Chains A and B, each alone.
Chain A
């Protein structure tokens, strides 16, 4: 595991961004950026439009390791280049942003109040490719929709199993058991989740480290035992639907936790903006989220 990347993540002076117009081919994501279906004739052209936008984001002066600790890439992006350099390599060597890879393939139907991750066939091969491409870690998401002990235990068990598989390839797993923010028993679910994670951490060998991504809790400081745990490199928070103000306010009340908003950085960005406008806007977005992260 890359020591410098680990040090940057551990220092956590910033936030972890999502750097992909997910679904790669999602017209919705592209339309939000101001590129309508009239602007491209085929899927291939659409991919190019999306990738042009990603490149523009990555090249923004503000998008550097000073404020953006890491970026979670989708597989499509990992396989592409930025300015002629493989995406992950460019991110780290040029922008000093630690590259992560999203590895989950969607969610199962709800059972016991939770949605487990779908099987990930070929995960070992993907992890090998990621390691070769200079990826530092991975992210895997499942969803908790109710405070049910059996369901939460099953989610945490699956998360740790996949986490071990990732660790075996020398990569840093981000475990993301997201709790839906709109459920009435959210606080209870959060306590169950924290206790289950603490139990499973004891099963990891000494000296092993993982990362964990959690919904911002109802009780401030609820996850402090995880922040302070020797086997957790960094606890990152997901907003899960909270508005930016609500999310940043909650973040500030949870010391040691940094933001990892899977919200695209393209809020308010558009293809029609000049480079100066584009860079200024993305810089402002980054500043707001960075300030919240370091305030925490």
Chain B
């Protein structure tokens, strides 16, 4: 007789354990370090960083262009003129600066 009643308890424990594991994995799948929320968060961060990278690449390209146009083997007079004014604050002798 005993044989039959002991299996009832074991089954219960088995199912309880299975349920708890299931709940844990479900929770981990959503909230965990490798869960859905975390994935969404990382993807959003990835998009932000991609946008920032694009912005920085545009800025680098702009600065490379300016640097090249003021280099020794390529001197762009228009750019030199505007940079001399903007960066060095130079003006021509007959010009009046109005602040």
The answer to whether B77 touches A22, judged by C-beta atoms less than 8 angstroms apart, is yes
Contacts of A266 in B (CB 8 A): 75
The answer to whether B84 touches A32, judged by C-beta atoms less than 8 angstroms apart, is no
Contacts of A80 in B (CB 8 A): none
Q: A271 near B: Cβ within 8 Å?
A: no
CB distance from A289 to the nearest CB of B (A): 13
Q: CB within 8 Å of A: which of B8-36?
A: none
The answer to whether B68 touches A241, judged by C-beta atoms less than 8 angstroms apart, is yes
Among B65, B70, B81, B96, which residue has its beta carbon within 8 angstroms of that of A74?
B81
The answer to whether A267 touches B74, judged by C-beta atoms less than 8 angstroms apart, is yes
Contacts of A180 in B (CB 8 A): 62, 65
Chain A, interface size: which category? 35 or more
User: What is the bound-complex CA distance between A205 and B71, given in angstroms?
Assistant: 43
Contacts of B69 in A (CB 8 A): 240-241
Among A76, A183, A184, which residue has its beta carbon within 8 angstroms of that of B92?
A76
The answer to whether B65 touches A23, judged by C-beta atoms less than 8 angstroms apart, is no
Chain B contributes a number of interface residues (CB within 8 A of A) equal to: 31
| A241/B80 contact (C-beta < 8 A), A75-B94, A267-B73 known | no
Q: A119 near B: Cβ within 8 Å?
A: yes
Closest-by-CB residue of B relative to A43 is B93
Q: CB within 8 Å of A: which of B33-59?
A: 54, 58
Taken residue by residue from 234 to 250, chain A's Cβ proximity to chain B (1 for < 8 Å, 0 otherwise) reads as: 00001111010000000
Q: CB within 8 Å of B: which of A99-141?
A: 102, 105-107, 119, 121-122, 141
CB distance from A209 to the nearest CB of B (A): 23
User: CB within 8 Å of A: which residues of B?
Assistant: 54, 58, 61-62, 64-66, 68-70, 72-82, 84-86, 90-92, 94-96, 98
Sort A-B residue pairs by CB-CB distance and give the 8 closest, nearest first.
A182-B61, A23-B84, A106-B85, A22-B77, A22-B81, A262-B78, A241-B65, A182-B65
